[in-house]
Amino acid sequence: MDLRNGLRPLGSTPAEFEQDLLSNLYYRRGTTVESASAQDAYETLALTVRDRLAARRARTAAAQYDSNPRWVYYLSAEYLLGPQLDQNLLYSGTTDLAPAALKALGFDPAEVAALDVEPGLGNGGLGRLAACLLDSLATMDIPAVGYGIRYDLGIFKQSFENGEQVEKPDDWAFQGDPWEFPAPDDRNRVGFYGHVGPEGWVPGEVIDGEPSHLLVPGYGTETVNFIRLWRARATEASFDLSRFSAGQYAEAVDQAVRAENISKVLYPDDSTESGRELRLKQQYFLVSCSLRDIIRRFRFRNHDWAEFPAKAVIQLNDTHPTLAIPELMRLLVDEEGLDWDQAWSIVRQTFAYTCHTLLPEALETWPVAMLGRLLPRHLEIIYRINDGLLGEVRSRFPGDLDRVRRMSLIQEEPERRVRMANLAVTGTFAVNGVAELHSQLLTATTFHDFATMWPDRFRNVTNGVSPRRFVRLANPGLSSLITSGLGTDAWLRDLSLLAGLAPLAGDSAFRAQWRTEKRRAKAALGLGDPGALLDVMIKRFHEYKRQQLKLLHIITLYHRLKSDPGRFGVPRTVLFGGKAAPAYTAAKSIIHLINAVAATIAADPVTSGQLRVVFPPNYNVTLAEKIIPAADLSEQISMAGKEASGTGNMKLALNGAITIGTLDGANVEIRDRVGGENFFLFGLDATGAAALRGSSYQPRSYYDSDPELKAALDAVLAGAFGGVGHDVAQSLLDRDEYLTLADYRSYVDAQDEVSAAWQDQERWTRMSILNAANSGFFSSDRTVADYLDRIWRATPVRP
Ligand code: GL4
């Protein structure tokens, strides 16, 4: 099929690119070079680059349609995409053309590039993982679609007022989003509330889901896939003209406003559920629109429902889209007329579920009453699925009532709630954790009963990150050095080739170049002394991640510095980045205390140059791409058994930062690969931590027996940091849920080893190079290869 429809091919010379830019400025942006603003230039550039991807998308679509393949559908409530311009320039091969053309037309390329806004459609690691997987799927030519919600307001903008976190709305698309293609024709109607009568579910409220899509190009290949994002739209009927005519303006639009609220905001909490009906509505909205779309796409080429699992595998990114299971049952049974068993067999062969947590409080449950009111038919279906499940449990484990109670989709006490994780395990053919340790702990604890009954359902797929974004785009200097060291840039599509850097760790000239790149990245970050060790802790704020442990170490260093400034050792800059959920008071107190400690240290002349704490606000992908290349030390210090995987740990190791960490999440695999001698290990392991938590843990005994720890906490309690942080210190002494005090001494000792290692710059650089060289496994291309092999079983289609 010739899809160019007689169109002239898009140019690849500077003159042609300039022509395209000019034509788009005139005919699509509707302005002229003389009167264009920087914003006009930015939007026009985006269109010009998007056109190139769109042409590839058309060719990809034709090839995919022709081969009627098995599609990978990724359902996710979050995508943390990061800035689009740089990526799309790189992936369309216009990185050099674009600035030259802009300049030729009289625009300032840097000013134009600065207008690129990062869509903040995710919270943290889970949403960023989704973006990396889609990048890799396209790069590996796998037919795939990501489905999500197009929130008007993304994750909040963080600022600090008197050191405290303040949240402002992130109206990221307020200028419009030039990367997006609206597709209003593919609207779907979504029902809520109502009742189930003899004729089936009669919703009490309907809204429309209107999609737009963002192109997801592969690197070094023709393939361009896409993400389809749904936006809630009021139906025509929801505007009340009679009320409007009667002057009741607010009432006239009331229903419409409520409908559109569904895609208004991304919930800014990570790992805990907000328990609000609007969130449940969002989840059903995503699922309902996406399944209709998937079915519409299935019907292009297929007619027989039995073929559905061969043509679609639907990955549930955590429990947020789990309602897809009862929704597909409803569509198949109520709308398509399949019998229950046929439908259940299709569902069970189609869905797979990724669990991203070990925190019990992060396993979503919804009140039965709420779910039944919002989705009465789905609750009936969930009950029937539960009957089948519990029947199987009873026949496999006769008389084991406790097991029946634990495995039920319905929790009875203290209030009846639907357990979404149990539903997700029951309605899928594969359940995976996101790192080896995490997957083991899932089958040993969280899903132990299910793993006993269905051992074949459980597998591991260790997370990964895109080397294109987190090495090539974030760190162009180091990327060139890697390419020259390896003599090829093929590592960008096969990260295992980084192993070829290992011998270069022994080459002093290469080491010197490696250090130069680190220093350059630090200087670009604007950090005063590029000779200071840059110690980085960038991630969401959560007590289990233990930013408070890092803080106790900083206070200890400060105390040492004050007591003997001459013997301090190595200058350090500690950098924090991250947001706390707005309602998470304890995490916000930790942020406040970090800023207070930073201010006290900055104001104390004794520390000058030796110890600095910096905390740039509003950590996001854009900022991550600047910090990661500069980092020397990567803080991965969660209480063992709590961090499912982590992906920042991988990004930092790939950029030559050395990890100080516990045996938690993917740290375990990083250490296995880079070698214990190139990793600073400390603290309790998951077994030790669980045992200590299970006994009567006494945080005070650590405080009483360790003078440095005592001094650090006493200083906070005495108000040494502007009177801030009393609650943080008190909670560590009273409860210390995440064993901060138990791990303190081991952590501080490991940090002393860090300082000693830093003093030998040649040794440090060797360690740094070996971290990068041995981290090729952590490419999201490998992650996708594992998903394909263990779960998805889809094959490439090349345009
Ligand atoms: C998370 C985990 O906390 C994190 O360890 C993991 O790397 C990430 C992607 O698998 O998923 N789960 C939630 S919730 N947020 C995360 O970042």
Contact 640, 684 (CB under 8 A): yes
Per-residue pLDDT at 269: 81
Residue 476: inside a domain, yes or no? no
The SS3 assignment for 658 reads strand
Check pocket membership of 666 for ligand 1, CB cut-off 6 A.
Answer: no
Check pocket membership of 122 for ligand 1, CB cut-off 6 A.
Answer: no
Residues 514-549 pLDDT 10s: 999 999 999 999 886 778 999 999 999 999 999 999
Contact 248, 223 (CB under 8 A): no
Check pocket membership of 269 for ligand 1, CB cut-off 6 A.
Answer: no
Residues 10-49 pLDDT 10s: 777 889 999 999 999 999 999 999 999 999 999 999 999 9
Claim to verify: residue 443 and residue 569 sit in the same structural domain: no
**625 CA to centre of own chain:** 14
**Cα distance between residue 193 and residue 280, in whole Å:** 12
Tell me: pLDDT of 434 over 80: yes
Identify the band that residue 273 occupies on the pLDDT scale cut at 50, 70 and 90: low
Claim to verify: residue 390 and residue 279 sit in the same structural domain: yes
Interval between CA 458 and ligand 1 midpoint (Å): 18
Give the closest residue to 784 by CA, choosing from 313, 430, 464, 495: 464
Check pocket membership of 645 for ligand 1, CB cut-off 6 A.
Answer: yes
Check pocket membership of 644 for ligand 1, CB cut-off 6 A.
Answer: yes
Contact 551, 598 (CB under 8 A): no
DSSP 789: I
Q: Please say whether the dihedral angle defined by the alpha carbons of residues 174, 178, 179 and 183, taken in this order, is positive or negative.
A: positive
When pLDDT is averaged across residues 779-790 and rounded to a whole number, the result is 98
Tell me: pLDDT of 4 over 60: no
Interval between CA 133 and ligand 1 midpoint (Å): 14
Secondary structure (DSSP) of 392-454: HHHHHSTT-HHHHHHH-SEE-SSS-EEEHHHHHHHT-SEEEESSHHHHHHIIIIITHHHHHH-
Interval between CA 630 and ligand 1 midpoint (Å): 24
Claim to verify: residue 145 and residue 271 sit in the same structural domain: yes
Interval between CA 642 and ligand 1 midpoint (Å): 10
When divided into structural domains, the chain yields a total of 2
Query: Is residue 399 left, alpha or beta, with left meaning phi > 0 and alpha meaning psi from -120 to 50?
Result: left
| Closest atom of ligand 1 to CA, residue 643 | 5
In degrees and rounded to multiples of 5, residue 247 shows phi and psi of: 85, 5
Contact 768, 656 (CB under 8 A): yes
Which of 126, 420, 652 has most ligand 1 atoms within 8 Å of CB, for mutation?
Answer: 126
Tell me: pLDDT of 794 over 50: yes
- Quickly list H helices, 68-105: 85-91, 97-104
When pLDDT is averaged across residues 650-658 and rounded to a whole number, the result is 98
Q: Which amino acid is at 718?
A: A
Residue 206: inside a domain, yes or no? yes
Contact 560, 600 (CB under 8 A): no
Q: For helices 726-734 and 740-759, what crossing angle results, to 10°?
A: 110
Identify the band that residue 231 occupies on the pLDDT scale cut at 50, 70 and 90: very high
Claim to verify: residue 508 and residue 413 sit in the same structural domain: no
Identify the band that residue 6 occupies on the pLDDT scale cut at 50, 70 and 90: low
Check pocket membership of 462 for ligand 1, CB cut-off 6 A.
Answer: no
Claim to verify: residue 401 and residue 315 sit in the same structural domain: yes
Q: For helices 621-630 and 508-525, what crossing angle results, to 10°?
A: 140
Q: What are the CA-CA distances from residue 466 to residues 455, 650, 706, 757, 783 (Å)?
A: 31, 10, 43, 29, 10
Residue 237: inside a domain, yes or no? yes
* C-alpha gyration radius of the chain: 27
| Closest atom of ligand 1 to CA, residue 357 | 12
Residues 6+ apart with CB under 8 A from 112: 38, 41, 42, 45, 102
Secondary structure (DSSP) of 211-259: EEEEEEEPTTSS-EEEEEEEEEE--GGGS-HHHHHTT-HHHHHHHHHHH
Interval between CA 125 and ligand 1 midpoint (Å): 5
Which residue's CA is minimally distant from atom 17 of ligand 1? 125
Residue 469: inside a domain, yes or no? no
Which of 270, 645, 662 has most ligand 1 atoms within 8 Å of CB, for mutation?
Answer: 645
Which of 76, 132, 357 has most ligand 1 atoms within 8 Å of CB, for mutation?
Answer: 357
Residues 6+ apart with CB under 8 A from 499: 773, 774, 776
Check pocket membership of 126 for ligand 1, CB cut-off 6 A.
Answer: yes
Q: Which amino acid is at 684?
A: L
Share of the chain above pLDDT 70, in %: 99
Per-residue pLDDT at 569: 77
**Cα distance between residue 500 and residue 483, in whole Å:** 11
Residue 446: inside a domain, yes or no? yes
Catalytic residues: 356, 539-540, 545, 647, 651
Tokens of 723: 């009177």
Mean pLDDT over each residue of the chain, to the nearest integer = 96
The residue ranking higher by pLDDT, 609 or 331, is 331
ipTM of predicted assembly, 2 dp:
0.98
Residues 127-172 pLDDT 10s: 999 999 999 999 999 999 999 999 999 999 999 999 999 999 999 9
Claim to verify: residue 447 and residue 553 sit in the same structural domain: no
- Structural domain boundaries, residue 376: 68-83+118-462+786-792
| Closest atom of ligand 1 to CA, residue 271 | 14
Claim to verify: residue 549 and residue 450 sit in the same structural domain: no
Per-residue pLDDT at 472: 98
Secondary structure (DSSP) of 308-324: HHHHEEEEEESSTTTTH
Claim to verify: residue 370 and residue 421 sit in the same structural domain: yes
Specify the length of the chain in residues.
799
Tokens of 344: 């259940």
Contact 158, 167 (CB under 8 A): yes
Claim to verify: residue 425 and residue 322 sit in the same structural domain: yes
Q: What are the CA-CA distances from residue 623 to residues 327, 539, 551 (Å)?
A: 39, 12, 21
Which residue's CA is minimally distant from atom 12 of ligand 1? 356
In degrees and rounded to multiples of 5, residue 80 shows phi and psi of: -100, 85
Claim to verify: residue 290 and residue 348 sit in the same structural domain: yes
Contact 747, 713 (CB under 8 A): no
When pLDDT is averaged across residues 84-106 and rounded to a whole number, the result is 95
Claim to verify: residue 299 and residue 359 sit in the same structural domain: yes
Check pocket membership of 217 for ligand 1, CB cut-off 6 A.
Answer: no
Per-residue pLDDT at 693: 94
Residues 560-592 pLDDT 10s: 999 988 777 799 999 999 999 999 999 999 999
Which residue's CA is minimally distant from atom 15 of ligand 1? 126
Are β-strands 417-419 and 365-367 bridged in parallel, bridged antiparallel, or unpaired? antiparallel
Which of 266, 274, 434 has most ligand 1 atoms within 8 Å of CB, for mutation?
Answer: 434
| Closest atom of ligand 1 to CA, residue 125 | 17
Per-residue pLDDT at 495: 98
Interval between CA 126 and ligand 1 midpoint (Å): 5
Cα three-residue angle 647-650-655, rounded to 5 degrees: 135
Interval between CA 472 and ligand 1 midpoint (Å): 24
Residue 30: inside a domain, yes or no? no
Tell me: pLDDT of 2 over 70: no
Q: Which amino acid is at 491?
A: W
Which residue's CA is minimally distant from atom 9 of ligand 1? 126
Check pocket membership of 271 for ligand 1, CB cut-off 6 A.
Answer: yes
Residue 134: inside a domain, yes or no? yes
Interval between CA 119 and ligand 1 midpoint (Å): 19
Contact 180, 216 (CB under 8 A): no
- The H or E element containing residue 45 is helix 38-67
Per-residue pLDDT at 1: 40
CATH for 761 = 3.40.50.2000
Are β-strands 417-419 and 572-577 bridged in parallel, bridged antiparallel, or unpaired? unpaired
Check pocket membership of 283 for ligand 1, CB cut-off 6 A.
Answer: no
Residue 699: inside a domain, yes or no? no
Claim to verify: residue 525 and residue 440 sit in the same structural domain: no
Q: Which stretch of 405-409, 467-471, 605-609, 669-673 has the lowest confidence by average pLDDT?
A: 605-609
Which of 78, 274, 319, 356 has most ligand 1 atoms within 8 Å of CB, for mutation?
Answer: 356
Residues 6+ apart with CB under 8 A from 721: 593, 596, 597, 599, 600, 715
Which residue's CA is minimally distant from atom 4 of ligand 1? 646
